[in-house]
Amino acid sequence: GAVVSQHPSWVICKSGTSVKIECRSLDFQATTMFWYRQFPKQSLMLMATSNEGSKATYEQGVEKDKFLINHASLTLSTLTVTSAHPEDSSFYICSAGEFGQGNSPLHFGNGTRLTVT
């Protein structure tokens, strides 16, 4: 079945530094990938839609200059949290759908637990 790989699975960084998270579709091409954030005891909240070869679409309230998204190929999207602060500590999850499959459900990566100290 379709597999989405996300790396790293967890990261601890100091306040003010930047962190890059990678999301790869391993056995299918994904023109679109989605980035979600989940705080403890809460549901997944969509942050942005990552489109291959074009600018990402951000949800209302998500700072595009803080959460940089690059989708350079059909199998890779990256999310960079710039100048991270403790309030950015969260569980970040990417998802992707299979290229050309109209009713294909999304497949999720294993998530990245970010802790900013």
Partner 1 sequence: QKEVEQNSGPLSVPEGAIASLNCTYSDRGSQSFFWYRQYSGKSPELIMSIYSNGDKEDGRFTAQLNKASQYVSLLIRDSQPSDSATYLCAVSLLSGSARQLTFGSGTQLTVLP
Residues that bind partner 1 (CB under 8 A): 6, 30-34, 42-46, 49, 91, 93, 95-111, 113
Q: Which residues pair with 51 in a beta bridge?
A: 32
In the complex, minimum distance from the CB of residue 52 to partner 1, in angstroms, rounded to a whole number: 10
Nearer to partner 1, 15 or 64 (CB): 64
Which residue's CB is nearer to partner 1, number 78 or number 95?
95
Return the number of the residue (15 or 42) whose C-beta is nearest partner 1. Answer: 42
Which amino acid, residue 71? Answer: H
Minimum distance from residue 37 beta carbon to partner 1 (Å): 12
Q: Could you give the count of Cα atoms lying within 13 Å of 82 in the half-sphere of its Cβ?
A: 8
Question: What are the backbone angles phi and psi of residue 111, rounded to the nearest 5°?
Answer: 90, 155
Burial class, 21, CB count within 10 angstroms (exposed 0-12 / middle 13-18 / buried 19+): buried
Closer by beta carbon to partner 1, 12 or else 17 = 12
Q: How far is the CB of 116 from partner 1 (least distance, A)?
A: 18
CB of 42 to partner 1, least distance (A): 7
What kind and span of H or E run contains 3? none
